[in-house]
Structures are given as C-alpha cells and as structure tokens.
C-alpha cells in the first residue's frame, strides 16, 4: 500500500496546507481509496500520479466542510475523465443528501454507478484481501475513525522440506500452497498446511477523523502499523482543543503510545501555526511517542 497526504490543514485552506484528504493506493491493482475530500482535493490530485478514475471508494469521516466540500467536483470530474467503474462512498448519515442535492442542483450527470452507504459502527466493507472497521469518535458532529486491516497471508511454501520428503516440483506445489490435501502417486496423503511457513501478518492502517482523545481512537489504532491522528493544536492549547472537540500534538502521541502503534503521523494542523512552527509541533509529539512525523501536503508513505 502507498499513502499520499493530499491535504493536511484544518478548517480552511492555507498557503502551505490544503484541507483534509488522504489517498490510499493498493499497489496490487492500482485502485485508490480516498479518505475525506476537502475543498480543492481534485486540484491537489493534479500534482500527484493519482488518477481520479482509479478512485473506487471514498470514506468520509464527518460532514464538516473542510472534509467534504471537494466531493461534488471530484465526482463530476471522475466522469469527465472516463471513470466508468462503480464508485462507493461511505460516510455518516447525511452524506447521501449532500451528494444527491449537489449533483441535482448542478445538473451533474455521472457516467458511472454511484453507491452511497450511510454507515454505523462495525465492519463496513470486506473483500478477500482486507476489511475496514468504523467507530464513532468524540467530535462536535458525528465523526468516524477507520481501521483498514489487511488479512493475513499464507506463509511461503517450504520447498526444501518437500524435496526432502521426495515431493518434486510440479502442479502439486500450487495445490499445497493453497493448503489443500493431495494424494501422491505412492498413495501417501499430505496436507499443504504441513508445508507452509508461518502466516505473513497483514498490515493495519488507522485513519481517524476529527476527535478529542477517546477510547475509540485507541481501540481503532491498536497495534496498527500506521496511525494518522489529528493534532489541530499545540500542547499548550489543551483547553481550546477540548472546547472545539479537537486534539493536541501530545494527545495524538498519547493515543499512539497507548495503542502500541509502530508509526504516527499527525495532521489537520491549524493555520495559526506557520511553517516555522511545524518542527516544534513534531517535537512535542515525539517527546511522548518518538516515532512521530508531522504530515505535509503531497507526502508519500510506503506501507
């Protein structure tokens, strides 16, 4: 997987940070999942290698404008750019009204099937490779966090062990790799499970919407390879963060530490902080959770 921060600011666009949007690209097929779609997200995409027609799922954390105002334009542009595959949008109650009203009033006609899913807590999507779980956070409006879990993969086929047991390469190896039980020419029955190494653990990526520090954040981030957590304010602004249902740099780091994540990226940075302030914000979080980086627009992370 590959993650691109398309917007890392809070509230409204700023000179160096656009409002929130994150793209998660699946390298096995090139498909892209978008998390939030703030104003001018499609402009940000123009500076990347992301193709709008490859976006097949959009997950909205909550319905504040800095997370959804870019959505109608992107949906229309995807159609103009020969996007014909179905697109699924997931989000809180109200996302359907927002999208359908925007498209109707602007007379935007899509060339692809658009499926809108108003979600509740739990597993909201699953396929043979991964699943995604949503939980409610602590924000002034309904806000969700998303936990993307890649399913464990079977271990490598133990070729040398097979050869030692007199089982030479051939079509049978594929059956054993799939864990099947097969009968050999000499009458022996063997199970592929006996010739596989340990399972390869899938990766976990947690992307949270706007929130105060809460238990749901920690649960969603448990043992994640990567946590993306808002840090709208610095450590000295805990009172105002609480008042506006947001988090500080230190609070984001505390979630990462308590959840046992491997890496933390802080984002959704208030425009009150100039570029010269960013290293200090990162330092504040690192004092609690050393493996922290402050995100910036167009940063690409290979997972």
Q: Please report the pLDDT score of residue 177 as a whole number.
A: 87
Q: Domain check: are 146 and 270 in the same one? A: yes
Q: Please report the pLDDT score of residue 294 as a whole number.
A: 98
Structure token digits, residue 112? 């692809």
Q: Domain check: are 36 and 121 in the same one? A: yes
Q: Domain check: are 114 and 167 in the same one? A: no
pLDDT higher than threshold 90 for residue 95: yes
Residue of 168 and 240 predicted with greater confidence: 240
Counted domains in the chain: 2
The annotation status of 246 as a binding-site residue, yes or no, is no
Under 8 Å between Cβ of 70 and 21:
yes
Under 8 Å between Cβ of 114 and 100:
no
* pLDDT tier for residue 261 given thresholds of 50, 70 and 90: very high
pLDDT higher than threshold 90 for residue 154: no
* pLDDT tier for residue 39 given thresholds of 50, 70 and 90: very high
* pLDDT tier for residue 63 given thresholds of 50, 70 and 90: very high
The annotation status of 47 as a binding-site residue, yes or no, is no
pLDDT higher than threshold 90 for residue 198: no
Q: Domain check: are 189 and 205 in the same one? A: no
Percent of the chain scoring above 90 in pLDDT: 84
Full domain range(s) for residue 28: 2-152+201-302
| Residue-averaged pLDDT of the chain | 95
pLDDT higher than threshold 90 for residue 16: yes
Residue of 146 and 29 predicted with greater confidence: 146
3-state secondary structure the chain: CEEEEEECECCCCCCCCCCCEEEEECCCCCCEEEECCCCCHHHHHCCCCCCHHHEEEEECCCCCHHHHCCHHHHHHHHHHCCCCCCEEEEECCCHHHHHHHHHHHCCCCCCCCEEEEECCCEEEEECCCEEEEEEECCCCCCCEEEEEEECCECCCECHHHHHHCCCCCCCHHHHHHCCCEEECCCCCEEEHHHHECCCECCCEEEEECCCCCCHHHHHHHCCCCEEEEECCECHHHHHHHHHCCCCEHHHHHHHHHHHCCCCEEEECECCCCCHHHHHHHHHHHHCCCCCEEECCCCCEEEC
Q: Please report the pLDDT score of residue 82 as a whole number.
A: 80
Catalytic residue among 29, 36, 66, 186: 66
Q: Domain check: are 53 and 131 in the same one? A: yes
Q: Domain check: are 208 and 190 in the same one? A: no
Q: Domain check: are 232 and 91 in the same one? A: yes
Q: Domain check: are 222 and 188 in the same one? A: no
The pLDDT tens digits for 97-121 are 999 999 999 999 999 999 999 999 9
Residue of 157 and 2 predicted with greater confidence: 2
Q: Domain check: are 85 and 189 in the same one? A: no
Average pLDDT of the residues in 52-57: 96
66 tagged catalytic: yes
The pLDDT tens digits for 267-302 are 999 999 999 999 999 999 999 999 999 999 999 999
Q: Please report the pLDDT score of residue 179 as a whole number.
A: 85
The annotation status of 67 as a binding-site residue, yes or no, is yes
Q: Strand 55-59 relative to strand 122-126: parallel, antiparallel, unpaired?
A: unpaired
The annotation status of 26 as a binding-site residue, yes or no, is no
Q: Which of 16-30, 66-80, 168-182 has the lowest mean pLDDT?
A: 168-182
Percent of the chain scoring above 70 in pLDDT: 100
Under 8 Å between Cβ of 259 and 288:
no
Q: Please report the pLDDT score of residue 233 as a whole number.
A: 98
The annotation status of 97 as a binding-site residue, yes or no, is no
Structure token digits, residue 254? 């505390």
10 Å CB burial of residue 209 (0-12, 13-18, 19+) is buried
The CA distance from 2 to 203, in Å, is 12
Angle at the Cα of 208 (from 203 to 214), degrees rounded to 5? 110
The pLDDT tens digits for 115-132 are 999 999 999 999 999 999
Q: Domain check: are 208 and 184 in the same one? A: no
């Amino acid at each position: 997987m590959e993650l691109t921060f398309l917007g890392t600011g809070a509230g409204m666009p700023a000179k160096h940070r656009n409002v929130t949007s994150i793209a998660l690209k699946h390298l096995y097929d090139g498909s892209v999942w978008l998390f939030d779609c703030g104003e001018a997200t499609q402009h940000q995409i123009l500076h990347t290698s992301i193709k709008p027609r490859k976006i097949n799922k959009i997950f909205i954390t909550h319905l504040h404008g800095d997370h959804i105002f870019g959505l109608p334009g992107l949906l229309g542009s995807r159609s103009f750019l020969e996007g014909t595959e179905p697109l699924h949008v997931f989000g809180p109650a109200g996302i359907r009204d927002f999208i359908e009203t925007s498209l109707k009033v602007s007379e935007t006609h899509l060339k692809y099937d658009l499926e809108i899913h108003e979600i509740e807590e739990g597993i909201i999507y699953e396929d043979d490779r991964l699943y995604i779980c949503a939980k409610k956070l602590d924000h002034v409006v309904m806000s969700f966090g998303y936990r993307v879990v890649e399913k464990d993969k079977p271990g490598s086929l133990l070729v040398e062990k097979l050869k030692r047991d007199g089982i030479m390469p051939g079509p049978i190896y594929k059956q054993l790799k799939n864990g099947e039980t097969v009968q050999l020419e000499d009458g022996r029955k063997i199970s592929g499970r006996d010739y596989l190494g340990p399972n390869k653990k899938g990766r976990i990526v947690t992307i949270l919407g706007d929130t105060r520090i809460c238990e749901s954040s920690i649960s969603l981030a448990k043992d994640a390879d990567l946590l993306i957590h808002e840090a709208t304010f610095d450590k000295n602004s805990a009172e105002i963060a609480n008042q506006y249902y947001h988090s500080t740099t230190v609070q984001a780091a505390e979630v990462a530490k308590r959840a046992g994540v491997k890496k933390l990226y802080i984002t959704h940075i208030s425009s009150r902080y100039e570029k010269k302030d960013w290293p200090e914000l990162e330092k504040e979080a690192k004092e609690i959770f050393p493996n922290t980086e402050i995100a910036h627009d167009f940063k690409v992370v290979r997972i």
